[in-house]
């Protein structure tokens, strides 16, 4: 089993290398198709990786792994169901249909009880548990190289997160408990979660009420009003499950959601609760406190919030001055009181401009389980962009969690962070500059008076006229590059950045 599984994984790795090395779109497409075929055949962890590509990128060959993966024949799956029940399925089911599609660890068969009640039966693949255990053993052989080694990623923590997640997904009893918890606690208008029939379920079989509807690709051409209802429902579901229940659905691929036209509005049915991520109350309150502090520019220390979320304090100490501005970049949709246009959220570019290679330092500081939370957010962002719907995030957050929880987050006192002595400054939101001022005067007359958001300072070199930059470089009086590097490390505290006179014109730039 180990050798056979290793051979499959080796072929997948080789195919993935060919995708990366493709020189043209046609070559890339053909390489992707070959990789998709191998992932579909392997199922297990390998297939889940492909589904993650589909969720994050969208509109590519990997989409086939969520929409049309060939199912195993019914005759192969029925013995698993019979063994689970302890008697012939014919005793309780009038009919069981062959599955039309499959997932990474199991597949769903539509059926009916003898009284005509329509249900869905999720059956785990025979021997998939052994295959996953084999892949987990191979995962332990992953080398600590590249970015993982260079920036100190806790590879063992990521392996453990992968192990724990797959163990939960393989046990349908745990999935049933999670689904029941969601059903009872996530109250969002237009959201449905199927009812479970626990008496017929086991660790390898899940029997639930039948969900109907279309999958995500079919709704992107629905009316704008319906797409808006769907977008609001998806975002409120994430907020409600994260902040109120503390458990987030972390498998956002297209096969896990159905959509319906309904007499009282569009309905969203959420399926497959095998992969979730849980956050303790203090971690959830820390995230809310970070959002609120960033919005209000209050005396909230982002370092304490990130550490309470599970980040490594000593690693963050190296970039703590940049944390207020980094928080603004990460939380930008929450910081405005109007509809936020997702196309304006150039998160990766902005973080790279701010931190450069140190962005890997920030990522390596995060707890391994936050990877699953980011996966949930990334999947939702992809869906909102495909729906072409922009929303008021703050308004929907307030609606989802309520004023009482927001006040609790404001009032919560987080543990102070004790750091080994560091040269870098601690900066809270209240002490960060909010505006960048650019003034040019001549003979006591103002020629230019610009007021920009403080983060515009990241483009400092382009704000300074070219002739002034050349003069500064020649004289050595002021090094704009060094100023920018210092600001990125120390943060945007109020200060005069430089004053300079050239050809009777005085240039003054400062943060306030």
Kindly list the distances between the CA atom of residue 92 and the CA atoms of 73, 81, 84, 99, 194, in Å, as whole numbers in the listed order. 21, 12, 13, 19, 19
Q: What is the pLDDT of residue 57?
A: 45
- What is the residue whose two structure tokens read 């196309």? 343
Q: Tell me, what DSSP letter sits at residue 425?
A: P
How confident is the model at residue 488, as a pLDDT? 84
| Residue 377 counted as domain residue | no
* pLDDT given at position 174: 94
| Domain membership flag for residue 49 | yes
State residue 466's pLDDT score.
85
- The reply to whether 460 falls in a domain is yes
Q: Which domain holds residue 47?
A: 2-67
Output the CA angle 332-354-424, nearest 5 degrees: 110
pLDDT along the chain (512 residues), means of 10: 46 50 50 48 48 45 52 91 96 93 83 97 86 60 54 74 82 94 93 94 95 91 94 97 95 87 82 92 97 94 95 88 93 95 90 89 90 90 94 98 97 83 70 92 89 89 83 80 85 89 89 93
Per-residue tokens: 308:
């309470």
The answer to the question of residue 80 being in a domain is no
Please tell me whether residue 268 adopts helix, strand or coil conformation.
strand
For residue 58, the model assigns a pLDDT of 45
- Read off the DSSP letter of residue 245: I
What angle, rounded to 10 degrees, do the helices at 224-239 and 393-411 form? 10
Among 67, 84, 107, identify where a domain stops: 67
Contact call for residues 193 and 183 (beta carbons, < 8 A): yes
Last residue of a domain, one of 14, 49, 67: 67
In a domain, 6, yes or no: yes
496 belongs to a structural domain: yes
pTM (global) more than 0.85: no
Whether 479 is covered by a domain: the verdict is: yes
Please report the pLDDT score of residue 401 as a whole number.
Answer: 96
Point out the domain boundary residue: 67, 92, 117.
67
Structure token pair of residue 198: 């626990």
* 135 domain-assigned: no
* Long-range CB pairs of 297-303, under 8 A, 24+ apart, other chains included: 297/429, 297/430, 297/432, 297/434, 298/428, 298/429, 298/430, 299/428, 299/429, 299/430, 299/431, 300/428, 300/429, 300/430, 301/417, 301/426, 301/428, 302/326, 302/327, 302/428, 302/429, 303/417, 303/426
CB 345 within 8 A of CB 332: yes
Contact criterion met (CB below 8 Å) for 285 and 240: no
Count of domains observed in the chain: 2
């Amino acid at each position: 089993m180990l050798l056979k599984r290793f051979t499959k994984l080796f072929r997948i790795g080789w195919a993935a290398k060919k995708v990366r090395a493709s020189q043209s779109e046609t070559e890339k497409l053909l390489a992707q198709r070959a990789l998709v075929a191998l992932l579909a055949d392997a199922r297990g962890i390998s297939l889940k990786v492909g589904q993650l590509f589909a969720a994050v990128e969208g509109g590519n060959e990997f989409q086939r792994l969520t929409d049309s993966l060939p199912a195993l024949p019914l005759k192969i799956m029925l013995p698993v169901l019979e063994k689970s029940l302890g008697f012939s399925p014919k005793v309780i089911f009038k009919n069981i249909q062959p599955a039309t599609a499959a997932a990474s660890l199991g597949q769903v068969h539509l059926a009916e009880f003898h009284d005509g009640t329509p249900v869905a039966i999720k059956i785990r693949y025979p021997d998939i548990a052994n295959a996953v255990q084999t892949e987990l053993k191979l995962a332990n052989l992953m080398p600590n190289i590249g970015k993982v080694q260079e920036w100190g990623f806790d590879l063992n923590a990521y392996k453990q997160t992968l192990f724990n997640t797959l163990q939960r997904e393989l046990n349908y009893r745990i999935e049933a408990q999670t689904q029941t918890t969601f059903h009872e606690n996530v109250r969002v208008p237009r959201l449905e979660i199927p009812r479970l029939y626990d008496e017929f379920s086991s660790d390898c079989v899940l029997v639930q009420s039948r969900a109907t509807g279309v999958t995500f690709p079919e709704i992107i051409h629905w009316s704008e009003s319906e797409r808006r209802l769907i977008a609001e429902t998806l975002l409120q579901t994430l907020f409600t499950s994260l902040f109120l229940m503390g458990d987030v659905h972390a498998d956002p691929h297209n096969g896990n959601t159905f959509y319906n036209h309904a007499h009282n509005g569009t309905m969203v049915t959420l399926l497959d609760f095998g992969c979730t991520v849980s956050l303790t109350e203090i971690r959830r309150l820390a995230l809310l406190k970070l959002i609120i502090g960033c919005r209000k520019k209050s005396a909230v220390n982002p370092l304490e919030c990130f550490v309470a979320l599970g980040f490594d304090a000593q690693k963050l100490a190296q970039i703590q001055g940049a944390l207020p501005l980094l928080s603004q970049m990460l939380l930008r949709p929450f910081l405005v009181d109007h509809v936020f246009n997702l196309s304006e959220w150039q998160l990766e570019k902005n973080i790279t401009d701010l931190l450069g290679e140190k962005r890997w330092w920030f990522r390596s500081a995060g707890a391994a389980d936050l990877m699953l939370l980011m996966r949930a957010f990334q999947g939702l962002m992809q869906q909102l962009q495909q729906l072409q719907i922009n929303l008021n995030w703050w308004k929907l957050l307030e609606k989802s969690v309520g004023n009482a929880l927001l006040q609790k987050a404001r009032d919560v006192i987080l543990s102070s962070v004790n750091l080994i002595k560091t040269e870098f400054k601690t900066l809270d939101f209240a002490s960060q500059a909010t505006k960048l001022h650019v003034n040019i005067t001549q003979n006591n007359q103002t020629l230019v008076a610009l007021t920009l958001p403080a983060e515009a300072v990241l483009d400092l070199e382009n704000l300074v006229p070219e002739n002034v930059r050349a003069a500064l470089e020649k004289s050595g009086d002021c090094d704009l590059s060094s100023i920018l590097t210092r600001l990125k490390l120390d943060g945007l505290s109020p200060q005069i950045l430089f004053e300079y006179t050239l050809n009777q014109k005085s240039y003054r730039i400062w943060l306030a």
